[in-house]
Copies of this chain bind each other. A is one copy, B any other.
Amino acid sequence: MDNRQIILKQRPRGLPGPECFELRRTPMPQPADGQVLLQNLYLSLDPAIRGWMDDAPSYLPPIEVGAVMRGTTVARVVESRVPRFNPGDLVHGLHGWEDYSIAEDSPFLFAIPPEIDRPLTNFLSVLGPTGLTAYFGMLEVAQALPGETVLVSGAAGAVGSIAGQIATMLGCRAVGIAGGKKKCRWLTESLGFAAAIDYKSTPDITAAIREACPKGVDVYFDNVGGEILEAVLDTINVRARIVMCGSVATYNNTAPTPGPRNLWQLLVKTASLEGYLVSSYLSEWPDARLTLAQWLEEGHIEFREHIDKGLESAPVSFLRLFSGDHDGKLIVDIAGES
């Protein structure tokens, strides 16, 4: 049986169009000692992948031209040459846009915990790196306190929507920034955000933040960077914490973007800006996932998944992240199990 793979054919300039990808068929890989052979069931499409497509130093090496695209998958063990896994086990980890992957045994390869009875796709959304990013960002990095105002950008996105709901659970006043009236309504009417700002129809973001956050901003959970970060810096309170979680507004820029002109406000307000990766908290993932699962059971967290079908659809599906044309965590069903 062949293995279908989507490879990086060429590096993108700006938006990664179809010319950047190629579907390749290769022989089924064979695991060596200390490896497992996985059948990928679901693939998570995340904005961070766009960064890995550039030939620029980052927290992971760039995807090489000609190599398989990288992404988090939920997978089933087909063959195991690792003591802790058996054929049929379900795992998740950072693998490839392909039907079958070889994985080393490492702390990055997680068993799906059998005690959590949820659909497998949830381990790529609310119970996966996405939900965990919201969880550690709000609890460990921002350390949001009851009564504080927590502003979230990309608030209708997979991470932002959960981040805001966690803030509300903590007793904070969550305010979201999102693109479009429909998304904003979802934030306030379904997710418990106290207010929402539609950046697409707001000419003056700073004024809109001031209106939505009359007591100023104590925590800014930043998923987008760019101009909105600059606007927020003019509205922060003393000792504010800005969690730099993503910068989707700038990922497709073809030249480096100038940073905020008012970075100085960090000194004026003795505030902090902290870059954050969920992988820094790897050893705490299992406990955090149990907590998130409990919050789900108790009805504290609502989430959505947008599932596209077929490995071959992944390149087109990926573009949805930058057009906003999806409704929930973007996932590709590779094996046709959903």
Contacts and interface: CB of A to CB of B under 8 A. Distances in A.
A273 B243 CA distance: 11
Contact of A262 (B256, B263, B270, B277): B256
A142 to B, nearest CB: 12
Given A59-B270, A265-B275, A272-B272, 15 more contacts: A57-B268, A225-B263, A225-B264, A247-B264, A258-B259, A259-B260, A259-B261, A263-B263, A266-B273, A266-B275, A267-B275, A267-B276, A270-B275, A270-B280, A272-B275
Contacts of A270: 59, 274-277, 280
Contacts of A274: 266, 270-273
A272 B269 contact: no
A258 to B, nearest CB: 3
A266 B266 CA distance: 14
B269 A59 contact: yes
A51 to B, nearest CB: 9
Interface of A: 57-59, 225, 244-247, 250, 256-277, 280
B256 A261 contact: yes
Chain A interface SS verdict (over half): loop
Closest 6 CB pairs of A and B: A259-B259, A258-B258, A266-B275, A267-B275, A256-B261, A272-B274
A127 to B, nearest CB: 23
A276 B268 CA distance: 8
Given A272-B273, A272-B275, A274-B272, A259 B267 contact: no
A286 to B, nearest CB: 21
Contacts of A258: 258-259, 261
A337 to B, nearest CB: 34
Contacts of A275: 264-272
25 contacts: A58-B268, A59-B267, A59-B268, A244-B263, A244-B266, A244-B267, A245-B267, A247-B267, A256-B261, A256-B262, A258-B259, A258-B261, A259-B260, A263-B273, A265-B275, A266-B274, A266-B275, A267-B275, A267-B276, A267-B277, A268-B275, A271-B274, A271-B275, A272-B273, A272-B274
